[in-house]
Amino acid sequence: MAKILNIITNPDPVLRKKSQPLNLEEPLTSEQTNFCQDLILTMKEKDGVGLAAPQVGKNIRIIVVTLDNEIICMVNPQITKKSWARHWGEEGCLSVPDQFGEVERHKKINCIYFTPEGKKKQIKVQDFPARIIQHEIDHLDGILFIDKARNLKKSS
């Protein structure tokens, strides 16, 4: 049964470490598959649209994202193509509570990743879904949105 995980907040140094890719020579272990379910439940319970493993204290390359009302667990996600077009949009983060700011992101991206079952997938997304994936992959590289944001403000 999935459990709600503790969200780590800035300035915890775990958030600044580069995460390690998982070895996908074999399918994920049941512990890793359960971790994906825990990430999904935690994201839902905390009203997030994405969540990365480092945000719950694990420096491995797993993220969960909401795309078209479907939640996807992405193992070793990698952006393979980015549009020239970029746009600014407001972002917040469960690991940086009560702060929001505008971040410039690529409008469209192509991304490859593996499912928890070990299937390789490729997706093309744009606008808000592209923003979510870029934000979560930044977490895997130890980057927080506040590192890129302008007009940072506190929510009341």
Show me where the domains of the chain are located: 13-154
Q: Which of 31, 90, 102, 136 is catalytic?
A: 136
At 124-152, the pLDDT tens digits run 999 999 999 999 999 999 999 999 999 99
Domain 13-154, what fold? Peptide Deformylase (3.90.45)
Beta bridge partners of 88: 104
pTM reported for the whole predicted model: 0.95
Can you say how many angstroms the Cα of residue 81 is from the centroid of all Cα atoms in its chain?
17
C-alpha dihedral (86, 77, 47, 82), degrees to nearest 10: 10
Res 156 pLDDT > 80: no
Q: Is 136 a catalytic residue?
A: yes
CB environment 67-90: b (16+ within 10 A), e (fewer): beeebbbbbbbeeeebeeeeeeee
